C-alpha cells in the first residue's frame, strides 16, 4: 500500500510540474473591403510572382490582393456585384489563377472569363463561357482551363498575349467531357497532366497534350472535393467532403499511400512544399487541421485550429501563414503554422 501511495504521489508531482498543453492561438481576422455583409468564397490562391494572396471576393465585385506580411489589401473591381449576401457562393468572381503576367478570373454571374493586368489593376479583355464556371487554372505556355460541372466538362481557351498585357485576348480551343465531374482541378507541369475529381469515389488524370482522360483512380470518397499536389514527390492529396484526407501516388497509377480522418465538410485544401504540411479546413466542423506529410506520403495530424461556420477554403504563402475563408463575416482568417517541417 505504501509503495502504491508513493507511486501515486510521484505521478501527481510529475503532472504538476509538466507544462500545460497550450491551446492553439486565435486566428487574426483580415476583413476584406466591402465584405461586411458576407462573401461567398469558393477559391483562394497565392501568387508567387506578386507575393500576394488572391481572394476572389464574389458578392463585393472585387478581386482582393493581400500582402501576407503586412495584410495590406489592393482591390481590383469590375466584376459582378450585389449588395446582399445569400449564404451561397454562386455569385460574382469565385476563382482565379495567374500566368504569363496576367490574372485569370471567372465571373459566375456574368458567365465569363476575365483577363486582368495586375500592374494596372484592370480587366483588359473577357470571353464568354459555355456554362457556369467553377475552377480556372493556367496551363503553360498559353492555355486556360475552366471547369464547368453543370455541363460535365472542362472548357479550354488559348491565350494570345498581344504586344502588351492590355492587348491580351483568349479564344476558345476545345472542351473535354468529364462525365460525373469535374470537381477541383490541379495542373502537374512536370508530368504534363491535369487532375480532377469525379463527384464520388474517383479521381481522373488528363493528358495535357491530347486533352484526354488517361487514368481513373479510386479515392474512396463518398464525396470527392478538393485537390492539392506535391509535385516533387508525386503525391496528390484528395479531400473527401466527409472529412478524410487521402494521398495518391500519381507516379504509380494513383496507388493509395495514406488515409486520415479529420474535420467534416471539407472542400478546398492546400499544401506547403517548404514545410510538407497539408492544410485541411472543415466547413461543418469549423476547424482547420494541419497534417504532416512524411517522405512516404503518410499523413498524421499536427494540430487543429477553430475557424468559423462554412470556412471551407484555404491557401498558404508557403512560409508560415495560412489564410482560411470566413464567408459570413466577409473576411479571411490568418493562422500561423509554427510546426517544424515534416520528415
CATH at 328: 2.130.10.10
Residues 28-39 have a mean pLDDT of 95
How does the average pLDDT of the chain come out, rounded?
92
Q: Identify the three-state secondary structure at position 203.
A: strand
272 contacts 306 by C-beta, under 8 angstroms? no
Task: Report if residue 18 sits inside a domain.
Answer: no
Q: What is the pLDDT of residue 154?
A: 98
**What is the per-residue pLDDT across 83-137, written as a single tens digit (0 to 9) for each?**
988 878 788 999 999 999 999 999 999 999 999 999 999 999 999 999 999 999 9
Q: What is the pLDDT of residue 23?
A: 65
**Rounded-to-integer distance, Cα 100 and Cα 49, Å:** 10
The C-alpha angle 120, 122, 123, rounded to 5 degrees, equals 140
Task: Report if residue 342 sits inside a domain.
Answer: no
| Concatenated DSSP letters of 225-246 | EEEEEETTTTEEEEEETTTEEE
- Structural domain count, the chain: 1
**What is the per-residue pLDDT across 253-276, written as a single tens digit (0 to 9) for each?**
999 999 999 999 999 999 999 999
Task: Report if residue 12 sits inside a domain.
Answer: no
Sign of CA dihedral 235, 95, 241, 185: negative
Q: What is the pLDDT of residue 5?
A: 38
**Confidence band (pLDDT; 50, 70, 90) for 6?**
very low
Q: What is the pLDDT of residue 131?
A: 97
**What is the per-residue pLDDT across 290-311, written as a single tens digit (0 to 9) for each?**
999 999 999 999 999 999 999 9
Domain that holds residue 177: 25-336
Residue with cell 462573401: 39
23-27, 48-52, 208-212: which range is least confident on average? 23-27
Amino acid at each position: 500500500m505504501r509503495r502504491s501511495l508513493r507511486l501515486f504521489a510521484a505521478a501527481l508531482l510529475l503532472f504538476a510540474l509538466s507544462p500545460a498543453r497550450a491551446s492553439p492561438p486565435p486566428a487574426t481576422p483580415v476583413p476584406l473591403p466591402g465584405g461586411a455583409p458576407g462573401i461567398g468564397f469558393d477559391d483562394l490562391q497565392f501568387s508567387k510572382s506578386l507575393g500576394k494572396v488572391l481572394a476572389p471576393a464574389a458578392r463585393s465585385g472585387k478581386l482582393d490582393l493581400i500582402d501576407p506580411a503586412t495584410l495590406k489589401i489592393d482591390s481590383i473591381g469590375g466584376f459582378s456585384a450585389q449588395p446582399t449576401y445569400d449564404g451561397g457562393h454562386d455569385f460574382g468572381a469565385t476563382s482565379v489563377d495567374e500566368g504569363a503576367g496576367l490574372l485569370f478570373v471567372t465571373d459566375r454571374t456574368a458567365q465569363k472569363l476575365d483577363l486582368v493586368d495586375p500592374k494596372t489593376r484592370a480587366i483588359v479583355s473577357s470571353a464568354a463561357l459555355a456554362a457556369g464556371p467553377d475552377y480556372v487554372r493556367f496551363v503553360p505556355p498559353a492555355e486556360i482551363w475552366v471547369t464547368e460541372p453543370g455541363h460535365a466538362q472542362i472548357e479550354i481557351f488559348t491565350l494570345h498575349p498581344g504586344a502588351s498585357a492590355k492587348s491580351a485576348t483568349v479564344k476558345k480551343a476545345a472542351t473535354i467531357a468529364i462525365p460525373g465531374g469535374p470537381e477541383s482541378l490541379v495542373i502537374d507541369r512536370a508530368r504534363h497532366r491535369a487532375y480532377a475529381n469525379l463527384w464520388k469515389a474517383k479521381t481522373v488524370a488528363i493528358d495535357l497534350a491530347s486533352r484526354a482522360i488517361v487514368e481513373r483512380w479510386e479515392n474512396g470518397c463518398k464525396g470527392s472535393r478538393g485537390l492539392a499536389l506535391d509535385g516533387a514527390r508525386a503525391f496528390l492529396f484528395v479531400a473527401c467532403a466527409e472529412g478524410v484526407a487521402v494521398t495518391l501516388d500519381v507516379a504509380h497509377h494513383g496507388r493509395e499511400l495514406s488515409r486520415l480522418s479529420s474535420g467534416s465538410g471539407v472542400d478546398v485544401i492546400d499544401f506547403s512544399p517548404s514545410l510538407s504540411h497539408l492544410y485541411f479546413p472543415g466547413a461543418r466542423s469549423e476547424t482547420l487541421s494541419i497534417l504532416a506529410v512524411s517522405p512516404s506520403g503518410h499523413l498524421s495530424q499536427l494540430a487543429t485550429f477553430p475557424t468559423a461556420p462554412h470556412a471551407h477554403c484555404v491557401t498558404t504563402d508557403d512560409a508560415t501563414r495560412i489564410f482560411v475563408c470566413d464567408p459570413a463575416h466577409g473576411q479571411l482568417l490568418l493562422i500561423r503554422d509554427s510546426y517544424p517541417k515534416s520528415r
